[in-house]
Amino acid sequence: MEISAAGQAILVAALACAVWSTLSSGLSVKGNDRRLALSGERALFATGFLILCATVLLVYAFYTRDFSLVYVHGYSSRSTSPVYTLTALWAGMEGSLLFWTLLSALYAVSAIAVQRKRRPDLTPVATGTLAGIIAFFIAVLVFGANPFDALSPIPGDGAGLNPLLQSPFMAIHPAMLYLGLTGFAVPFAFAVASLVTGRLEAGWFTSTRRWTVLAWSFLTVGIILGGAWAYMELGWGGYWAWDPVENASLLPWLTGTAFLHSVMIQERRQMLKIWNVALILGTYCLAIFGTFLTRSGLLSSVHTFSESPVGKMFLPFLAVMLVFAFGLLGWRYEKLRSERHLESMFSREAMFLFNNLLLVTIALTVLWGTLYPIMVEAVSGAKISVGPPFFNTVVGPMGLALLALTGIGPLVAWRRASWRSLKRELFLPLVAGFATVAALGFNGVRSAGAMFGLGLTSFVAVATIGEFARGARAHRGKGLLGYPRGLVTVISGNRRRYGGYIVHLGVVLICLGISGTAFRQSWSGDMLPGDSFTIGRYEVTYERARTFTTDEKAVRMAVMAISQDGRPVRSLTPQRNIHLAQDQPQSEVGLRTTLSDDLYLVLTQMDSTFAVTMRAWVNPLVAWIWIGGVFMALGMLVILSGKPPTQRGVSPGSGRAEKPVPVSV
């Protein structure tokens, strides 16, 4: 049997299973039919298995260089390395959709397998919801972007992988991003289940909190790796361009972050129930919206390699999801209303409320800026752009306010804080903040944004470290190692809280790195061998050119001698290469990274006389962004390594004991 026919047959079978799972799970709810529910679960497991088979088959086709498939021919060649042969799976539209479907299915199968015993009251609806989502994606694969489409006649070699995607960061970044975005389907499905069944008090979110944290963690790492890829591969000197596709991944991250904070209020005080359900429903809808945006080609983007007409199929799906999810929320509105009240404006709850307000406003602003060109074109026909100046100007101040709350929030007590206590806790952070501003001013810095940003960074860093110090002091033992032991005890004793603080420290370091943008320097010009220029503390000399050809590319390299503060350091070799299979030019950046700054060289042109056009940037503090990313990942690991959560007063399996609510769905 041909691989194309086999693949198509597996996808059709998977679609049938997913549709059956959706229907039987949905029908089982109305009559409380356990057999139908079980059938739905099994059909979901079968769907997962079939999608796994389809993926393995496509990977097999890649490794056996089976160019009878259009997709394999389009994204690999005989010279593609084994690692990039695997990552070619998600290099194009069809394969990446299959990969997305696989991850959705794996999440769905794992979540249902775990929760069917813990929360049998919620699993039928959750199964149906997850199966419905997966069914849609399989339908897109079968009818719109089939990775098993056959090619005839069969060519001897493939077109090869886009050279921009042949990067270690690009090998991991999409996988992480997809793991994040698809993971939000689990809390979404359980939120829908809690709304449908009316079991709104029994901690649907505690059942799925680890899944939410896991998804958020993957998304965070994916976004940071995407920035690292853009910085090291695209050669434009930056890591975030407010590109529509970047924005699309940021939107669910922002609302997901808001959810992870506000859900704590519901856990502790049984408040904000409507808000929390709305946030998690919105987060997954935004994840789907991002997929639509990426694949529709609606907006001009550096991610143009992933455009396709299948974007049109996402719009009705998104509309159905929004109407279904928020319709349910409206239906259960009265039941979700909280009886509890805030006791003080000056409490942890109120701080979380402001944190959520800022995160959601930033999300709406990014959404607005991303969609504004489409709206203007639809209304007036004019083509306009909304670029970095808009986002930096509008989002920047809100981001700084959010950073301030990151420092203040943990210092404020639940229910009602006392001014005296807070003043004492704030003293050192405020001193650190003002001292930073004064030191910057003393050193001639006049950028208000940089002074404010770095001052706040110091403030939050000291406030967060203070939390660790207080915890370590309370648990300290005797002797020299008393405090370190106390620190380990306090972190391992409350991993969720202190893991969160480690994440906050990561955010602080990332903000430190971003603040460096204010001190960025750039240079561009034409050079001949022997020419030099000075940028920041570096003197850069164009020593000589090297040109050679490999099997894959024609390389044009400029050997640049670097001297830092008058001392010679390692040479950099920025390149401008032509990838032969694709006839595509690509720049390889010359990069020298230190903790204080990066020297970033891009060769944009080299002619036959070896005259070059060179662009150079000195990007201060960028390394701290990647270090902050590592801190964030470490914090997430600490959170995830803790014990599974239980809601206060509600045991994990208490859903079974609850009185069933009549459902008429």
78 or 470, CB closer to another protein? 470
Q: Which of 302, 445, 465, 559 binds another protein (CB under 8 A)?
A: 302
Q: C-beta of 544: minimal distance to another protein in Å?
A: 21
Going by C-alpha positions, the residue among 602, 591, 616 that lies closest to residue 557 is: 602
383 or 567, CB closer to another protein? 383
User: What CA–CA distance (Å, rounded) separates 205 from 277?
Assistant: 9
Q: Which residue has the tokens 């989002």?
A: 395
Helices (H), 381-494: 388-408, 419-442, 448-474, 482-493
Residue 568: count other Cβ atoms within 10 Å of its Cβ.
11
Going by C-alpha positions, the residue among 562, 560, 525 that lies closest to residue 546 is: 560
Going by C-alpha positions, the residue among 87, 70, 75, 162 that lies closest to residue 553 is: 162
Using the rule CB under 8 A, is 557 a contact of another protein?
Answer: no
Do 182 and 111 contact (CB within 8 A), yes or no?
A: no
Using the rule CB under 8 A, is 570 a contact of another protein?
Answer: no
Using the rule CB under 8 A, is 602 a contact of another protein?
Answer: yes
* Ordered DSSP codes for 527-550: E-TT-EEEETTEEEEEEEEEEEE-
Q: Which of 587, 619, 647, 654 binds another protein (CB under 8 A)?
A: 587
Supply the Cα-derived Rg of the chain in whole angstroms. 27
359 or 432, CB closer to another protein? 359
Using the rule CB under 8 A, is 491 a contact of another protein?
Answer: no
Question: C-alpha angle with apex 366: 360 to 369, nearest 5 degrees?
Answer: 140
- Give the DSSP H/E element, type plus range, for residue 30: helix 3-31
Q: Which of 34, 117, 335, 470 binds another protein (CB under 8 A)?
A: 470
Q: C-beta of 345: minimal distance to another protein in Å?
A: 6
Using the rule CB under 8 A, is 578 a contact of another protein?
Answer: no
SS3 617: strand
**The two structure tokens encoding residue 239:** 């890591």
Q: C-beta of 330: minimal distance to another protein in Å?
A: 17
494 or 593, CB closer to another protein? 494
Using the rule CB under 8 A, is 533 a contact of another protein?
Answer: no
Residue 210: count other Cβ atoms within 10 Å of its Cβ.
18
Piece in contact with another protein (CB under 8 A), picked from 208-216, 236-244, 452-460, 504-512: 236-244
Residues facing 617 on adjacent strands:
522, 600
Q: C-beta of 329: minimal distance to another protein in Å?
A: 16
Q: C-beta of 352: minimal distance to another protein in Å?
A: 11
376 or 627, CB closer to another protein? 376
Residues whose CB falls within 8 Å of the CB of residue 429, separated by 6 or more in sequence, listed in order: 407, 458, 459, 460, 462, 463, 466
Using the rule CB under 8 A, is 584 a contact of another protein?
Answer: no
* Alpha carbon distances (Å) from 167 to 172, 174, 531, 617: 9, 12, 31, 22
Task: Give the up-direction half-sphere exposure of residue 176: CA atoms within 13 A in the CB hemisphere.
Answer: 21
Q: Cβ-count burial of 321 within 10 angstroms (0-12 exposed, 13-18 middle, 19+ buried)?
A: buried
124 or 235, CB closer to another protein? 235
Q: Which of 124, 235, 455, 506 binds another protein (CB under 8 A)?
A: 235
Q: C-beta of 487: minimal distance to another protein in Å?
A: 12
Q: Which of 33, 150, 159, 236 binds another protein (CB under 8 A)?
A: 236
Using the rule CB under 8 A, is 418 a contact of another protein?
Answer: yes
Q: Which of 34, 117, 335, 473 binds another protein (CB under 8 A)?
A: 473
User: What CA–CA distance (Å, rounded) separates 483 from 365?
Assistant: 44
Instruction: Verify cis geometry, omega within 30 degrees of 0, for the bond prior to 153.
Output: yes
Do 540 and 533 contact (CB within 8 A), yes or no?
A: yes
Using the rule CB under 8 A, is 490 a contact of another protein?
Answer: yes
Using the rule CB under 8 A, is 534 a contact of another protein?
Answer: no
Using the rule CB under 8 A, is 312 a contact of another protein?
Answer: no
Do 199 and 558 contact (CB within 8 A), yes or no?
A: no
Using the rule CB under 8 A, is 447 a contact of another protein?
Answer: no
Residues whose CB falls within 8 Å of the CB of residue 359, separated by 6 or more in sequence, listed in order: 254, 255, 257, 258, 261, 402
**The two structure tokens encoding residue 18:** 């997913």
Q: Which of 474, 595, 630, 637 binds another protein (CB under 8 A)?
A: 474
Interface with another protein (CB under 8 A), residue total 68
Q: Taking the chain, what is the end-to-end CA distance rounded to the nearest angstrom? A: 44
Going by C-alpha positions, the residue among 232, 97, 90, 84 that lies closest to residue 160 is: 84
Q: C-beta of 576: minimal distance to another protein in Å?
A: 9
Using the rule CB under 8 A, is 641 a contact of another protein?
Answer: no
132 or 237, CB closer to another protein? 237
Piece in contact with another protein (CB under 8 A), picked from 74-82, 93-101, 237-245, 320-328: 237-245
Q: C-beta of 482: minimal distance to another protein in Å?
A: 12
Question: C-alpha angle with apex 183: 225 to 133, nearest 5 degrees?
Answer: 125
Using the rule CB under 8 A, is 234 a contact of another protein?
Answer: yes
Do 374 and 298 contact (CB within 8 A), yes or no?
A: yes
Q: C-beta of 340: minimal distance to another protein in Å?
A: 8
Q: C-beta of 244: minimal distance to another protein in Å?
A: 7
305 or 331, CB closer to another protein? 305
Q: C-beta of 148: minimal distance to another protein in Å?
A: 30
Using the rule CB under 8 A, is 644 a contact of another protein?
Answer: no
User: What CA–CA distance (Å, rounded) separates 523 from 545?
Assistant: 20
Task: Give the up-direction half-sphere exposure of residue 130: CA atoms within 13 A in the CB hemisphere.
Answer: 38
Do 133 and 166 contact (CB within 8 A), yes or no?
A: no
Q: C-beta of 143: minimal distance to another protein in Å?
A: 29
Piece in contact with another protein (CB under 8 A), picked from 61-69, 173-181, 186-194, 417-425: 417-425
Q: C-beta of 59: minimal distance to another protein in Å?
A: 31
Binding mask 139-178 for another protein (x = CB under 8 A): ----------------------------------------
**Binding residues among 343-402 for another protein as defined by CB under 8 A:** 343-345, 350, 353-354, 357, 360-361, 364-365, 368-369, 372-373, 376, 382-390, 393-394, 397-398
Q: Which of 32, 64, 300, 534 binds another protein (CB under 8 A)?
A: 300
Q: Which of 613, 634, 642, 650 binds another protein (CB under 8 A)?
A: 613
* Ordered DSSP codes for 288-334: HHHHHHHHH--S--TTGGG--TTHHHHHHHHHHHHHHHHHHHHHTHH
User: What CA–CA distance (Å, rounded) separates 510 from 464?
Assistant: 15
Using the rule CB under 8 A, is 304 a contact of another protein?
Answer: yes
Which residues of this chain interact with another protein, rule CB under 8 A? 234-238, 241, 243-244, 300-304, 341-345, 350, 353-354, 357, 360-361, 364-365, 368-369, 372-373, 376, 382-390, 393-394, 397-398, 415-416, 418, 420-421, 470, 473-476, 486, 489-490, 492-494, 522, 524, 587, 602, 604-605, 613, 615
